[in-house]
Amino acid sequence: MSKDTKTKFITKDILRTSIFGAFKKLNPKYMVKNPVMFVVEVGFVVTILLSFFPDIFGDKGNNLRLYNIVVSFILLITVFFSNFAESIAEGRGKAQAESLKKTQKDMQARVISDDGKETVVNASMLKKGDMVLVKAGEFIPNDGEVIQGIASVDESAITGESAPVVKESGGDFAFVTGGTTVVSDWLKIQITSEPGQSFLDRMITMVEGASRKKTPNEIALNTLLVSLTIIFLIVIVTLYPIAVYVGVHIPISTLVALTVCLIPTTIGGLLSAIGIAGMDRVTRFNVIAMSGKAVEACGDVDTMILDKTGTITYGNRMASKFIPVGDVKEQELIHYAVISSLRDNTPEGKSIVGLGEKLTGIQNEDIPGMEFIEFTAQTRMSGVKLPDGTRIRKGASDAIGKYVRELGGVIPKDLAVQVREVSKLGGTPLVVCVNDRVLGVIYLKDTIKAGLVERFARLRAIGIKTVMCTGDNPLTAATIAQEAGVDSFIAECKPEDKIEAIKAEQAEGKVVAMTGDGTNDAPALAQADVGIAMNSGTSAAKEAANMVDLDSDPTKILDVVEIGKQLLITRGSLTTFSISNDVAKYFAIIPAIFMGVIPQMNMLNIMSLSTSYSAILAALIFNAVVIPCLIPLAMKGVKYKPQRSEKLLTRNMLIYGLGGIIAPFVGIKVIDLIITPLLAAFGL
């Protein structure tokens, strides 16, 4: 994403396309989707017909013809400004989408066949399951999993982050995104998505807003606006016979103007733009929202469940120390710990081998005939079986303890002490055994990501509870939870435990957000009301989530929540302003219509507007110009500060409720003073 599209509110290109888009949206087939503004467009058609055919409704006179033309022009401008607001919001998203599309142009792929032969094809021809080789300086042609190799990958085209990231096979960091660039070395990748269905393709679609659907709150508010519009239409229809009864002739164009001024045109014109802008603001934080509903739900989040590894911590637990127990020598522990990790491609396994070789100076090689036992969530340990039958295991202390006891072994007395000490330090104790004999503990160090303590404190201030889920033992989990500043934790957590925790919160009527990056997080991400996957995580996690954090920075979850709250507050504030400023229009138009026949109505002319024509036109002009004046606020959102709901409501009612009443009184009076001499010159 280019810097310009991230920082500038509007560019020349966006302005040009927005103006064109605003005229294009005048099509009645499109306008009918926005009932409030459709009524304004119908009013424009009626008044423009009256301008050329005044006899239709008995409105005659050159002065009245001019008045009808002026009213028609103002109504057209009102609809145009409404469409312009929506077009700007869409234009900003499309500008970002164009920068993303540049990464897809003319990409080639080096496909590896089963016999090892290389064939260069266009990236658009790749199918799911194809194997490709990407060398330094080349684009990764489509989403995939690293099968072989290790390389630095530049993801700045998608994330905006210039620092390259290391991608390698094994673990939760093997996923690569199409459109990113291999900076060094090479990667052998298995394609995991069909053409047009990649993560980048979906990003472009979402950023463009092409698949945006109205959110539940937006639909509810739209229903309210339509209801108010119908009510005011009924009022205007009944007003005409009342006026005839008291001897007042009301021009049809005045009734149209009155209708437009009384219905909530301000929020009706900005409602769609507010929703689009909400998704746009999330995108500018390098978070891709798969729907507007997800952004809106962020504003209602009560509980946030976070996966520890890769979310709260950096995820790569590094071997820091070998701690022997009983009468075992450190060299023996290191020897067997390294052997158990030779085929372990996880970052932890590689760090054990690396630390062991560093401490002993011995370069270890794979043992022919050795059988590798992979880690599973059920056994919670991994290891190897040597050709001579020797079984080496490493894993959680309780899992290894159970395994050793089943073989008839005895647990050393000081093992529990060493495990507890490592846990107290916030590390992960990995116990190593050979057959039925426990050798010692590997101290794996887990590092908390910077800034989390402050962020979690802010979440707590706005009433959001944070829960950490981890597969670690309770002591380790408690230490990490305390250091990170989360409210509670779930230790020895399995994938199904995360889902149960989410369901338990939802059963209490709470809105739950979940962040994660691993395949085992996918079910919980799908269950949560808001699922946020880390971009560095697996494709399964991204598929299940309704948001993806491109920077893989869980501290941004607070920003996303605040954007969601800002979206709701912005919509509520502008709705309050829109309905409040109708009050001033009552005092402008109603007295103007009747005070000529009913002198007592002049008491309501508290703005001392000059004539009935100037009063109506001033109210109509203000109604039109207030929409573009509020576009920047709709785009950027009302400023949000963490505070209690009652205080927030009081503040917004004072600013947008009271302000919505005062501003039109001032604006209409100023416009009246400006247009009165012009109207007098034309005999109005």
Q: 336 versus 459: which is more confidently predicted? A: 336
Is 4's pLDDT higher than 50? no
Annotated binding site for Mg(2+): 517, 521
Q: What is the pLDDT of residue 19?
A: 86
Q: Please give the backbone phi and psi of residue 154, each rounded to the nearest 5 degrees, phi first.
A: -90, 110
95: pLDDT confidence band, cut at 50, 70 and 90? low
Read off the CATH number of the domain in which 394 is found. Answer: 3.40.1110.10
Percent of the chain with pLDDT over 70: 85
- In this prediction the pTM is 0.62
Residue 547 burial by Cβ neighbours in a 10 Å radius (0-12, 13-18, 19+): buried
Among residues 172, 307, 472, 551, the one annotated as catalytic is: 307
CATH number of the domain enclosing 169: 2.70.150.10
Max mean pLDDT among 93-97, 281-285, 364-368 falls in 364-368
The reported pLDDT for the residue numbered 595 is 66
- Report the pLDDT averaged over residues 553-558: 70
**Residues 463 and 299: beta-carbon distance below 8 Å:** no
pLDDT value of residue 256: 87
User: Are residues 453 and 492 located together in one domain of the fold?
Assistant: yes
Q: Domain ends where: 443, 469, 504?
A: 443
Based on the fold, state whether residues 437 and 545 are members of the same structural domain: no
Q: Are residues 223 and 82 in the same domain?
A: yes
Residues 86 and 215 in one domain: yes
Per-residue pLDDT of 614-642, as tens digits, reads 888 888 899 889 888 888 888 888 877 76
Mark the binding-site residues for ATP, compressed into ranges. 344, 348, 375-382, 394
Q: Is 174 helix (H, G, I), strand (E, B) or coil?
A: coil
Is the pLDDT score of 162 beyond 90?
no
User: What is the tally of structural domains in the chain?
Assistant: 4
Does 224 map to a domain? yes
Task: Please give the helix or strand (H or E) that residue 590 lies within, else none.
Answer: helix 557-594
pLDDT for 412 beyond 90? yes
Give the pLDDT of residue 432: 96
**Three-state DSSP state, 522:** helix
Q: Judge if 79 and 225 occupy the same domain.
A: yes
* Residue 100, domain member (yes or no): no
Average pLDDT, integer, range 12-27? 83
Containing domain of residue 161, as a range? 127-194
3-class state of residue 381 by DSSP? strand
Of 9, 7, 6, residue with least CA distance to 632: 9
For the record, the structure tokens of 123 come out as 């990236």
Residue 67 pLDDT exceeds 60: yes
CATH number of the domain to which 515 belongs: 3.40.50.1000
- Asked which of 339-343, 508-512, 518-522 is least confident by mean pLDDT, the reply is 518-522
In this structure, are 328 and 363 located in the same domain?
Answer: yes
Residues 438 and 454 placed together within one structural domain of the fold: no
Q: How far is CA 393 from CA 333, 351, 524, in A?
A: 12, 16, 30
428-434, strands of its sheet edge to edge: 318-324, 437-445, 428-434, 391-395, 381-385, 371-373
pLDDT at 105: 56
User: What percent of the chain has pLDDT above 90?
Assistant: 15
Q: Which of 104-113, 122-131, 325-334, 526-535 has the lowest mean pLDDT?
A: 104-113
> Which of 127-136, 280-289, 482-491 shows the lowest per-residue confidence on average (mean pLDDT)?
280-289
* Residue 601 domain-assigned (yes or no): yes
The mean pLDDT value of the chain amounts to 80
pLDDT at position 408 is 92
What is the model's pLDDT at position 94?
Answer: 62
178 and 146 within one domain: yes
pLDDT higher for 33 or 599?
A: 33
Task: Let me know whether 416 and 327 are in one domain.
Answer: yes
* Domain boundary pick from 425, 443, 461: 443
Q: Let me know whether 328 and 427 are in one domain.
A: yes
Question: Would you call 307 a catalytic residue per the annotation?
Answer: yes
Sorting pLDDT into bands at 50, 70 and 90, what band is 353?
A: very high
For residue 149, what are the CA distances in angstroms to 145, 173, 222, 281, 374?
11, 13, 53, 37, 20
Q: Within a 13 Å sphere around the CA of 216, how many CA atoms are in the beta-carbon half?
A: 6
Q: Higher confidence at residue 115 or residue 291?
A: 115
Task: Report yes or no on 107 lying in a domain.
Answer: no
